[in-house]
Amino acid sequence: MTKHTIPDIASFIRENKSFLIVTHANPDGDAIGSSFAMLNFLRENGKEAEALLPEDLPLNYREFVTGDFAASMTKDKINTFGACLCIDVSTAERIALGAVLSRNDISIPLVNIDHHPDNTLFGDVNLVDSGSAAAAAIVFNTACAIKDFKISPKTATLMLLGIVMDTGCFRFDNTSPCALRDAASLIELGASYSRIINAMYFTRPLAYLKFGAEAILDYMNTACDGKFAWISIEDQLLEKYSVKLKDIEGIIDSARSIDSAVVAGIIYRKNDGFKISLRSKNPSVSVGRIARKIKGGGHEMAAGAFIQEKNKKEAERILVELVQEELKTSGIL
Ligand SMILES: [Mn+2]
């Protein structure tokens, strides 16, 4: 359970020959950017590396990752690598290894590279910096610490992708001087900022816009004097526009942008309960704290959780109560 530093990881990478890269389930921009940046970086500098990602990528990310990963892997295969680099994952349970495998099936050294404040230091080696805006920024700084290794424009673009997406395109509170400096350095290294912005913010099927319009019109709710706004996503609405959940998580920004809202959320049915994403607009209101009460976790300003409850009205009641409690604790209500 020791914490390591960037120079430790830099020498670890230098000393090992082959790496397996894994990230979290439902990968977001930082998970995808940081893992594939690491994959490219290692390959371009003479290391053997493979990525395991047993999930479909959200549509807009596909052009950055050209099918270059394994969708499944056996335990034996995993353990043929020199080490496993696990990037942007807060707990061992969240590692995306497919349906059958778990952390305990990995017997090679596991390096945990992450920035979540609730990281459980589950690796054999742990590089965890919760002050970092994105895991991609940690990957970038680690890459810089390996002096004779090169960072190509392709790798730099993937690193920048992670930083752009985890800072909400430099709009969230984690947009630190450091994050902006890293982004500037990456653009100097040839990262294509315009390509990222066009793919992430200016490219979507018309059906997605219509989905968003109807979601705002008919599925937006508010509580706590308008301080909590959330969209309750119904399967029938997804079906109507042939939209996949993983492609529309940005819809939470519509709730977030409501002037009175301090906490924004989306809620949707998953298995035997409801999955919840939450955002806070005020640093004294921790949605991470709310999430940790209901089988979830994440950052203080952005978190995810799960309510095991079949009835939607009841799940929403539980959620509103928890948000209300947090708003009261922090003196907002
Ligand atoms: Mn992240």
The alpha carbon of 52 and the centre of ligand 1 are apart by a number of angstroms equal to: 17
Tens of pLDDT, residue by residue over 126-165, are 999 999 999 999 999 999 999 999 999 999 999 999 999 9
DSSP string, 166-187: HTTTTTSTT--HHHHHHHHHHH
The alpha carbon of 278 and the centre of ligand 1 are apart by a number of angstroms equal to: 15
The alpha carbon of 159 and the centre of ligand 1 are apart by a number of angstroms equal to: 11
Tens of pLDDT, residue by residue over 302-329, are 999 999 999 999 999 999 999 999 999 9
The alpha carbon of 24 and the centre of ligand 1 are apart by a number of angstroms equal to: 10
- List the domains of the chain with CATH numbers: 6-201 (3.90.1640.10), 207-329 (3.10.310.30)
Band (pLDDT 50/70/90 cuts) for residue 55 is confident
pLDDT, residue 3, reads 87
The alpha carbon of 85 and the centre of ligand 1 are apart by a number of angstroms equal to: 15
Query: What is the rounded average pLDDT of the residues 220-234?
Result: 98
Query: What is the rounded average pLDDT of the residues 40-45?
Result: 97
The alpha carbon of 236 and the centre of ligand 1 are apart by a number of angstroms equal to: 30
**Averaged confidence pLDDT in the chain:** 96
The alpha carbon of 161 and the centre of ligand 1 are apart by a number of angstroms equal to: 11
Quick count: other Cβ atoms within 10 Å of Cβ 228? 27
Query: What is the rounded average pLDDT of the residues 188-208?
Result: 96
Q: What is the pTM of this model?
A: 0.93
More confident position, 245 or 178: 178
Residue 81 per-residue DSSP state: S
Query: What is the rounded average pLDDT of the residues 171-180?
Result: 96
Residue 165 burial (C-beta neighbours within 10 Å; 0-12, 13-18, 19+): buried
pLDDT, residue 56, reads 87
Q: Would you say 329 and 300 are in contact if contact means Cβ atoms under 8 Å apart? A: no
CB-based contacts of 211, cutoff 8 Å, min separation 6: 237, 238, 240, 241, 243, 248, 251
The three-state (H, E, C) secondary structure of 33-71, written as one string? HHHHHHHHHHHHCCCEEEEECCCCCCHHHHHHCCCCCEC
**Residue 212 pLDDT > 90, yes or no?**
yes
Tens of pLDDT, residue by residue over 237-261, are 999 999 998 888 889 999 999 999 9
The alpha carbon of 114 and the centre of ligand 1 are apart by a number of angstroms equal to: 7
The alpha carbon of 166 and the centre of ligand 1 are apart by a number of angstroms equal to: 6
The alpha carbon of 157 and the centre of ligand 1 are apart by a number of angstroms equal to: 16
Q: Would you say 140 and 182 are in contact if contact means Cβ atoms under 8 Å apart? A: yes
Band (pLDDT 50/70/90 cuts) for residue 67 is low
The alpha carbon of 155 and the centre of ligand 1 are apart by a number of angstroms equal to: 17
pLDDT, residue 85, reads 98
Residue 191 per-residue DSSP state: -
Instruction: Report d(CA 15, CA 292) in Å as an integer.
Output: 37
**Residue 90 pLDDT > 70, yes or no?**
yes
Q: Would you say 49 and 79 are in contact if contact means Cβ atoms under 8 Å apart? A: no
The alpha carbon of 222 and the centre of ligand 1 are apart by a number of angstroms equal to: 28
pLDDT, residue 1, reads 60
Q: Which residue has the tokens 């959780």?
A: 305
Q: Is 140 helix (H, G, I), strand (E, B) or coil?
A: helix
229 residue type, one letter: A
Q: Would you say 264 and 229 are in contact if contact means Cβ atoms under 8 Å apart? A: yes
| Element housing 103 (H / E) | none
Least confident of 28-32, 68-72, 74-78, 190-194: 68-72
The alpha carbon of 225 and the centre of ligand 1 are apart by a number of angstroms equal to: 31
The alpha carbon of 106 and the centre of ligand 1 are apart by a number of angstroms equal to: 22
* C-alpha distances in Å from residue 150, one per residue of 36, 38, 121, 147, 154: 15, 12, 29, 8, 11
CB-based contacts of 262, cutoff 8 Å, min separation 6: 227, 228, 280, 281, 282, 285, 327, 332
The alpha carbon of 95 and the centre of ligand 1 are apart by a number of angstroms equal to: 13
Sign of the CA dihedral running 190, 194, 200, 203 = negative
Percent of the chain clearing pLDDT 70 (strictly above) = 99
